[in-house]
Amino acid sequence: MTRAHLSRRRLVALAAAAPFAPAAGQQLVVPGKKPMIVHNEFPEDLESLPEYLDTWITPVDSFFVRQHLPRPKIDIRSWRLSVGGRVGNRLSLSLGDLKAFPQVTVPATLECAGNGRSHFRPRMPGLQWNKGAIGNAEWRGPRVRDILAKAGALPSAAFADFDGADVGVAKTPDFIRSIPMRKCLHEATILALEMNGAPLPDIHGFPARLIVPGWDGASWVKWVSRIDATEQMHGGFYMNPAYRYPRNPGPPGQPVKPEDLDVLEGMAVKSFFARPASGSRHKLGAITLSGAAWAGENRIVRVDVSSDGGATWRPASLSRQDYRFAWRTWQFEWKPARPGYYTLCCRALDSAGRTQPLEAAWNPSGYLYNAVERVGVTVEG
């Protein structure tokens, strides 16, 4: 048996076993949002339905929400962003001060590190996201490097710690993320004051949210209230042990030693079907397949689709929007030859030569799920 035959047989078997519906949560109505899959009501953890994700820009009312701690109540009249640590000039900046910096717009895809966790086997603790903990938006605000320059960040500063205003109950660790200075100084790393051309909504981090394009959502700190330039990475819970990934992923279920885990930086290459829905039924004739693909800090160069469980592949058409940190939508006009049940697949290729595997690398936290996407549909005569 050839490796190609083995791969196809494994892919078909995986398709038969794949969970097509969200593993947890029900569709509920949340103010300001379309019906979402609700994993938690307090604090809100809301997943987008796949059909909401078929446009290049994801509307705010369709955008997923991930929160570790309850939303803070912020009085913008007294709110200030403090900038300190290893700087020569400590700052206390109002929203007006932030707006006075040069403003830039960054199209970027935001994805929770645990998106797709429900598909790992064996399962692991954590929110059982299906595939909707992702969205693409246009973010606008000042560059972080301009703020650090105004504060006079010292050459010894290797990181910047970003602290959100959200707080939990007693003994709940503060949500602080350390971002390496090399990423802080990138021209596309900003403090977003706007989302899709409007003021940043409260649920998405008003008044200021850190945008770290190409990295997982854990680094995109909401309600930023403090920035500290530091010589060493912050030692809090949300840097260690949380949001760490095996240096060399092993077999499913295998424990990983803490010293073999690295901080998550970047995202995997990935694609998905927005339409058709898995389990859907269609009349024989032309059927439009559509979705999106992204690859962290790399560009998407191709998306292939299969209608025979991965035996053969054909290229999809990519959208003309091609930004380094934003997803590309894709489309394919499929004309099945006959009625029957079909396993549709899609896979992406990025500018670094990475493509999606048949099985995602299992890890104890369920991060970076990026297996070839599969949906089952029935075509009727």
pLDDT at 46: 97
Task: Give the pLDDT band (50/70/90) at residue 27.
Answer: low
For residues 23-38, average pLDDT:
75
Read off the pLDDT of each residue in 332-351 and give the average, rounded to a whole number.
98
Residue where a domain terminates, one of 214, 238, 263: 263
Domain CATH number, residue 73: 3.90.420.10
Q: Encoding tokens for residue 170?
A: 């007693």
Q: Are residues 360 and 300 in the same domain?
A: yes
Based on the fold, state whether residues 84 and 185 are members of the same structural domain.
yes
Give the pLDDT score at 169: 73
Same domain, 364 and 218: no
Q: Does 72 share its domain with 169?
A: yes
Q: Does residue 246 sit in the same domain as residue 299?
A: no
CA distance 378 to 381: 10
Q: How confident is the model at residue 305 (pLDDT cuts 50, 70, 90)?
A: very high
The answer to whether residue 98 sits within a structural domain is: yes
Mean pLDDT computed over 313-324: 97
Query: Would you say residue 28 lies in a domain?
Result: no
Q: Hey, CA dihedral for 245, 251, 255, 256, is it positive or negative? A: negative
215 and 121 share one domain: yes
What is d(CA 148, CA 225) in angstroms, rounded to the nearest whole number? 14
Report percent pLDDT > 90 for the chain.
88
**pLDDT greater than 50 at residue 231:** yes
On whether residue 112 sits in a domain, the answer given is yes
The enclosing domain of 281 has a CATH number of: 2.60.40.650
Mean pLDDT of the 213-241 span: 98
pLDDT digits (tens, 9 = 90+) for 64-90: 999 999 999 999 999 999 999 999 999
Q: Do 116 and 369 contact (CB within 8 A), yes or no?
A: yes
| pLDDT of 2 above 60 | no
Same domain for 336 and 236: no
What would the mean pLDDT of 15-28 be, rounded to a whole number?
44
Cα 125 to Cα 113: distance, rounded to the nearest angstrom = 14
Q: How far apart are the first and last CA of the chain?
A: 35
Rounded distance, CA 63 to CA 46, Å?
A: 8
> Helices marked H in the chain — which ranges?
3-17, 95-100, 144-151, 181-184
**Are 144 and 106 a contacting pair, CB within 8 Å?**
no
Which of 1, 23, 228 has its CA nearest to residue 119?
23
Residues 333, 224: one domain? no
Q: In 3-state terms, what secondary structure has residue 119?
A: helix
Under the banding of pLDDT at 50, 70 and 90, the label for residue 288 is very high
Range of the domain at 320: 3-20+268-380
Q: What is residue 171's predicted lDDT score, i.e. its pLDDT?
A: 76
Percent of the chain with pLDDT over 70: 92
Rounded CA separation 289/372 (Å): 15
**How does residue 25 score in pLDDT terms, banded at 50, 70 and 90?**
low
Residue 27 counted as domain residue: no
Peptide bond into 43 cis (omega under 30): yes
Quick check: is 131 in a domain? yes
Co-location of 83 and 60 in the same domain: yes
Q: Contact 346/273 with Cβ under 8 angstroms?
A: yes
Higher pLDDT, 4 or 33: 33
The per-residue pLDDT for range 243-273, each reduced to its tens digit, is: 999 999 999 999 999 999 999 999 999 999 9
pLDDT of residue 30: 76
Indicate the average pLDDT of the chain.
92
One domain, residues 217 and 276: no
Could you report the per-residue pLDDT of 83-134, keeping only the tens digit for each? 999 999 999 999 999 999 999 999 999 999 999 999 999 999 999 999 999 9
Reported residue count of the chain is: 381
pTM summary value: 0.91
SS3 165: coil
pLDDT of 218:
97
Q: How far apart are CA 90 and CA 228, in angstroms?
A: 10
Separation of alpha carbons 319 and 250, rounded Å: 36
* Predicted local confidence at residue 28, as pLDDT: 64
Domain assignment present for 25 = no
Residue 29 falls inside a structural domain = no
Q: Can you say whether the dihedral through the CA atoms of 124, 68, 184, 187 is positive or negative?
A: positive
Helices and strands counted in the chain (H then E) = 4, 25
Same domain, 69 and 159: yes
What pLDDT is stored for residue 8 in this prediction?
A: 37
* Top-confidence residue, 302 or 42: 302
Write out the two tokens for 169: 């109950």
Query: Which of 214, 245, 263 is the last residue in one of the domains?
Result: 263
Residues 14 and 160 in one domain: no
Last residue of a domain, one of 216, 241, 263: 263
Q: Is residue 319 a part of any domain in this protein?
A: yes
One-letter amino acid at 195 equals M
Total number of domains in the chain = 2
Sequence-separated (6 or more) residues with CB below 8 Å from residue 235? none
CA-based nearest residue to 194, from 181, 208, 180, 177? 208
What is residue 32's predicted lDDT score, i.e. its pLDDT?
86
